[in-house]
Amino acid sequence: MKKKSVFKKFLYSQKVAPYVFIAPFVVTFLVFFAYSICSMIIMSFQKVAGANTTFVGLDNYKILSNAVFIKSLKNSIFYTIVTCLLMIPIPMVLAAMLNSKHMRGKAAFRSILFIPALTSVVVAGVVFRLMFGELEGSFMNQVVGAFGMEPLIWLRKPTTVWIALFLLCLWRWTGVNMMYYLSGLQQIPEDLYESASIDGATSMQQLRYITIPLLKPTTIYVLTISIFGGMAMFSESYMLFNGNKSPNNVGTTLVGLLYRMGFEQNNLGIASAIGVTFLVIVLVINMIQLKVNGTFGKGE
């Protein structure tokens, strides 16, 4: 009994309790992230054949000069840039509309816009693949047909492939980013808007000088996760093309190439080299944008 009470006293002490609460996160981080990253870096310098590994130096990194890698990198960067340009202003405007006192049916619109985020990417990809089908009766061909245009082969041309991917991204994630912005808007004191109205500020001036500046922390967060999400895009492309192959690699991304090398061609060394490169690129891009936004190194 004495040992039990000592243990209980130790567990409930103010000094120990914080470490008990953070222990699950620390263990999870070390096992599933730190260990995985270290293993990936080591494997990027090896040729892995089952249980046998051979040190090959920088040979795996020769993939960085491969034409397919360069194209997949360009695809990932282009997708990230465009989705960031779409997924910040559109959710912000929608959140401002839902936060307005004059908006009716807020709960219904909020639910409708958020439901796509709860939809499986498998279901979303299949639905969009059918929508952008080659047949004349597919949804998008019926839409363009209404304007007198001939049916298009949507998933074989770069321009139309990107249209499909961007629409899929907008459909799935607009509601999520909108909720972030809605939460940020609700933290802005109403007194600021009332004072601005008394001083004669228009709605656009209030948006420019009050709303957007005070939403900067939310925007930085949304931008950060959007950069990672854009660079890590794979499932949407995989489901849209019903596999990891697209015409002339128009839909191949860095993660898609990593999957191809690691799981389809069983070359874990090259896949690890791509993974390390991907990690460095994402870290550098996010560090730059955080530095530009005044978040990184702010305390210096």
Residue with token string 């249980």? 51
Q: Can you read off the two tokens belonging to residue 25?
A: 């996160």
Type and span of the H or E element at 256: helix 254-259
Count of alpha carbons within 13 Å of 132, Cβ hemisphere only?
25
What is the C-alpha separation between 48 and 56, in angstroms, rounded?
10
Give the amino acid at 191. Answer: D
206-257: per-residue pLDDT in tens? 888 888 889 999 999 999 999 999 999 999 999 999 888 888 888 899 999 9
107-142: per-residue pLDDT in tens? 888 888 888 988 888 899 999 999 998 888 889 999
What is the C-alpha separation between 158 and 165, in angstroms, rounded?
11
Percent share of the chain, pLDDT over 70: 94
How many Cβ atoms are within 10 Å of 28's Cβ, its own excluded? 11
Give the amino acid at 62. Answer: K
Strands (E), the chain: 46-49, 52-55
The pLDDT assigned to 113 comes to 87
Asked if the model's pLDDT at residue 98 lies above 90, the reply is: no
CB contact at 8 A, 160 and 141? no
Q: Where does the pLDDT of residue 296 fall: very low under 50, low under 70, confident under 90, or very high at 90 and above? A: low
| Dihedrals phi, psi of 105, to nearest 5 degrees | 65, 40
The pLDDT assigned to 263 comes to 87
Q: Where does the pLDDT of residue 11 fall: very low under 50, low under 70, confident under 90, or very high at 90 and above? A: low
Alpha helices in 216-294 (DSSP H): 216-231, 235-240, 254-259, 268-292
Cα–Cα nearest to 278, from 237, 240, 228, 243: 228
The pLDDT assigned to 22 comes to 86
Long-range contacts formed by 51-59: CB under 8 A, 24+ apart: 56/269
What is the C-alpha separation between 219 and 5, in angstroms, rounded?
49
List CB contacts of 213: < 8 A, sequence separation 6 or more. none
The pLDDT assigned to 298 comes to 57
CB contact at 8 A, 218 and 181? yes
| Mean pLDDT score, 190-200 | 85
The pLDDT assigned to 156 comes to 87
The pLDDT assigned to 137 comes to 87
The pLDDT assigned to 300 comes to 46
| Mean pLDDT score, 32-55 | 87
Asked if the model's pLDDT at residue 54 lies above 90, the reply is: no
The pLDDT assigned to 5 comes to 66
By mean pLDDT, which of 19-23, 137-141, 150-154, 172-176 is the weakest?
Answer: 19-23
Percent share of the chain, pLDDT over 90: 42
| Mean pLDDT score, 263-275 | 91
